[in-house]
Amino acid sequence: MESLAPYAAHNSTSRGRRYRETAPTHRSEFQRDRDRIIHSAAFRRLEYKTQVFVNHEGDLYRTRLTHSIEVAQIARSIARALRLNEDLTEAIALAHDLGHTPFGHAGQDALNDCMRDYGGFEHNLQSLRVVDELEEKYAEFRGLNLTFESREGILKHCSPAKAADLGDIGRRFLDKGHPSLEAQLTNLADEIAYNSHDVDDGLRSGLISTESLSRIQLFDDQYQEVKRLYPDLNERRAIHEVVRRMINRQAVDLIETSLSALRRHDPVDIDQVRAADEALIGFSSEMHQQNLELKRFLRHELYRHYRVLRMTTKAARVIGALFEAFLADTMLLPPEAAQHVRELEKISGSDGRARAVADYIAGMTDRFAITEHERLFDPRQLT
């Protein structure tokens, strides 16, 4: 690990785990975190959770699992270029969406509505909850007992009210501090990944077109270039060529802009990164603007396309109905989930009861949620 920059996350300066453990023999602490994430049940479930398109809509679309792997790939490349900790970066990237509900953002908004009187539902907080509490695998502790640095990276956003209850991991949201550079870059690698792959999936689905995307500079610069270099290339290959160039442009911009910020601030260690007056990983202002333009386009033209909205409002109704049914009658829950409800209810009454129901629903894959809905509401289903 000699090649790591001084401001990277180092094993030796880690703030450690919540429960003390002996150091791993042939791995770093952050490798161990990454490995625990890969072996978790929540990670496997990402395969059947929606990114934009509901899982059964087509085999070629991104799911939360392939999205997380793409984020890890982009984030690791950037980390290596900046001499940051690749293992920590990979751990954060693979875990960043573990708390996502079924049916993407529509599912999360629906569950947040359901939980309005019980403390709300935030998927970033839920990702932390998954690794801290909900995964039950190890003999000695609840959760995956990850390092502070992985947990800090997973908790990307958090409302100040919630941050106050989280102890050391919530501090930076109250003090206006920053997380590690590895966490900062993974957050932006997430944006690079979804902006680019949603263009790809959006075009494949036919819901957006290259003509409408030509209004968007980040797309059009590359599209014109590809058409000029390869005028006879078929459409599918041309789109892939454009998307990979978009990813590269953004990654290169991020690396170069961040390197100059790091040179300017010259932090001696990770704690100076955390205390800096601004985030040190970022795009140039021009790229930032281009990114916003693309995001706005995708929001209007893809995420709010009537065919996407039909699917997502249907999904939101499934979540709402499941929540209502389980909260009203927890006898309908399978034994393990019912046990979880009893435990949380004992600790914090009706809030705990609702939280446990939300945990159960958030953990579902798209297809499991649909099947549970059928089992509960379709009178022809007798089991």
Contacting positions for Mg ion (CB under 5 A): 97, 190
For the CB of residue 2, give the shortest distance to Mg ion in the complex, in Å.
Answer: 32
DSSP string, 323-356: HHHHHH-GGGS-HHHHHHHHHHHHHHHHHHHHHH
Question: Which residue's CB is nearer to Mg ion, number 197 or number 373?
Answer: 197
Rounded-to-integer distance, Cα 136 and Cα 69, Å: 23
For the CB of residue 67, give the shortest distance to Mg ion in the complex, in Å.
Answer: 6
**Assigned token pair, 229:** 């270099």
Residue with smallest beta-carbon separation from Mg ion: 190
**Assigned token pair, 334:** 């399978």
For the CB of residue 58, give the shortest distance to Mg ion in the complex, in Å.
Answer: 20
> Are 54 and 370 a contacting pair, CB within 8 Å?
no
Rounded-to-integer distance, Cα 376 and Cα 298, Å: 35
> Are 98 and 124 a contacting pair, CB within 8 Å?
no
Question: Which residue's CB is nearer to Mg ion, number 14 or number 187?
Answer: 187
> Are 102 and 54 a contacting pair, CB within 8 Å?
no
Question: Which residue's CB is nearer to Mg ion, number 187 or number 330?
Answer: 187
For the CB of residue 186, give the shortest distance to Mg ion in the complex, in Å.
Answer: 9
Position 304: which residue type? R
Question: Which residue's CB is nearer to Mg ion, number 192 or number 341?
Answer: 192
Question: Which residue's CB is nearer to Mg ion, number 124 or number 258?
Answer: 124
> How many CB atoms sit inside 10 A of residue 283's CB?
20
> Are 155 and 185 a contacting pair, CB within 8 Å?
no
297 Ramachandran zone, left/alpha/beta (phi>0; psi -120 to 50): alpha
For the CB of residue 155, give the shortest distance to Mg ion in the complex, in Å.
Answer: 14
For the CB of residue 46, give the shortest distance to Mg ion in the complex, in Å.
Answer: 10
Rounded-to-integer distance, Cα 23 and Cα 137, Å: 19
Question: Which residue's CB is nearer to Mg ion, number 97 or number 241?
Answer: 97
- The torsion of the CA quartet 2, 5, 7, 13, rounded to 10 degrees, works out to -10
For the CB of residue 276, give the shortest distance to Mg ion in the complex, in Å.
Answer: 25
Question: Which residue's CB is nearer to Mg ion, number 11 or number 127?
Answer: 127
For the CB of residue 191, give the shortest distance to Mg ion in the complex, in Å.
Answer: 9
For the CB of residue 71, give the shortest distance to Mg ion in the complex, in Å.
Answer: 6
| Inter-CA distances, 136 with 132, 139, 142, 170, 280, Å | 10, 9, 6, 23, 36
DSSP letter (8 states) at residue 295: H
Question: Which residue's CB is nearer to Mg ion, number 97 or number 132?
Answer: 97
**Assigned token pair, 351:** 């809030």
Question: Which residue's CB is nearer to Mg ion, number 102 or number 267?
Answer: 102
